[in-house]
Structure 1
Amino acid sequence: MPIVYNKNVDEHSVLAIWKIEETEAEMLAGLQLKQHELDIISSLNNGKRLLHWLSTRLLLRTMLNTKEYIDCQFDEDGKPYLTNLDYQISLSHSYDYAAVMISKKYAVGVDIELIKHKIKSIKHKFLSDIELAQKQIGDNMDGLYVAWCAKEAIYKWHGKKGLEFKRDIHIKPFKLKNEGNLNAIVELPSGTKELTVSYFKTNDGYMLGYVANNA
């Protein structure tokens, strides 16, 4: 199991990243699956979508270190949850990596993305003019991906439809590093909240952002 990153974010929360190197058969051998999950697998066919689905479940099983069956489902808003274990979870994947974050206490959100030039063509769709005016974001590809991963992580942390990246999540000025933190103002139905998002860039060109907070 090639876990390339494993961090205790705090005393309640853990983040792990796995590089996908196994075959479909090798991953299936490490999972306990019931018919509804086998139906999902058959609908995904072969390829990256299937490998991503399998890898997040196998990483989740490895992190929880249990022999129990792990029933991971999605609610009506698309947020993953465990029906039989008392953890909050978030899943992400991009190309050759899967990322999972679990917490015994907090809502969590994680996002991993391969850094690609195409983000510059969509930056106005998820960033306000005020955010784009920040020199560490603007036309800086790393900065754009930090902002995207931060907003995606916050969206997953919130776990409800209706939260819009450009309208409701506002990145405050931050100092861009290969690893760091930023603060974001989030306009939630329950009121305005400020969250701290951690992020880091991998040596092979991926960006990851994550948040844990008991709102």
Structure 2
Amino acid sequence: MPVVYNKNIDEHSVLAIWKIEETEAELLAGLQLKQHEWDIISSFNNGKRMLHWLSTRLLLRTLLNTAEYIDCQFDPDGKPYLTNSDYKISLSHSYDYAAVMISKDNAVGVDIELIKHKIKSIKHKFLNDVELAQRQIGDNTEGLYVCWCAKEAIYKWHGKKGLEFKQHIHIKPFKLKNEGSLNALVELPTGTRELTVNYFKTKDGYMLGYVQAPEVIAKR
């Protein structure tokens, strides 16, 4: 599995993408798994889901650069976390790629998607009328994917159920590029936050968005 992209976002944060070219057996050979993980693997009903699951874990192991067992769990809201490490993590996959982001300082969110024209048929489900009126979004397939990846990355960064793409995450006007950034206003239970999401398009037609920021501390 070659790492095709590896970027140090800052001193304590890294983003990487891995192109999945291995068989299940080759991926399994690089992992340490316990029974609950074998149970998860056995529940997959197609090979692609297993390849995605295995590749994100192997990329995570590569970024953490450890020979120790990595215990990656999911909280009740579905957010991944490590029980034996201080790193915050986010995982994503799409077709032939796996993406992982880790940070010691901040909560993180990453999303990778293969660009397809069919996103136009669902744009009203995740974008409001004000967002759709922006020229760089509208019927622009790449602009729509930038927004989808940005909102998905923000959702993963927050990591709590109840955050609605259309209702709670608002993309501010931005200039569409092959690589750039945008700002989004996020309506959270703790108040409105403005986050910066970075994004880029790969040469073979994928879009990736990622965000890092101090995690939200719920008021008691």
Shorter-chain TM band: over 0.9
1:186 aligns with 2:186: yes
Match of 1:147 in 2: 147
Identity of paired residues, percent?
86
Task: Letter of the 2:6 partner, please give it.
Answer: N
Task: Give the deviation of 1:6 after TM superposition.
Answer: 0.1
1:207 aligns with 2:207: yes
1:55-70 matches, within 5 Å, as: 55-70=55-70
Match of 2:12 in 1: 12
1:160-199 matches, within 5 Å, as: 160-199=160-199
1:84 aligns with 2:87: no
Match of 1:3 in 2: 3
TM-score, normalising length: structure 1:
0.99
SS at match of 1:209: strand
Task: Letter of the 2:158 partner, please give it.
Answer: H
TM-score, normalising length: structure 2:
0.97
Aligned Cα root-mean-square deviation (Å): 0.6
SS at match of 2:125: helix
Task: Give the deviation of 1:45 after TM superposition.
Answer: 3.8
Gaps of 5+ in 1: none
SS at match of 1:149: helix
Tell me, in whole angstroms, the C-alpha distance in 2 between the residues paired with 1:46 and 1:186. 36
Tell me, in whole angstroms, the C-alpha distance in 1 between the residues paired with 2:61 and 2:106. 19
Task: Give the deviation of 1:47 after TM superposition.
Answer: 1.2
Tell me, in whole angstroms, the C-alpha distance in 2 between the residues paired with 1:177 and 1:84. 39
The superposition leaves residues 145-191 of structure 1 with CA deviations (integer Å, 9 ceiling, x where unpaired) of 00000000000000000000000000000000000000000000000
Number of residue pairs the alignment of both structures matches: 215
SS at match of 2:143: helix
1:35 aligns with 2:35: yes
Q: Spell out structure 1 runs of 4+ moving beyond 2 A.
A: none
SS at match of 1:59: helix
Gaps of 5+ in 2: 216-220
Tell me, in whole angstroms, the C-alpha distance in 2 between the residues paired with 1:110 and 1:191. 22
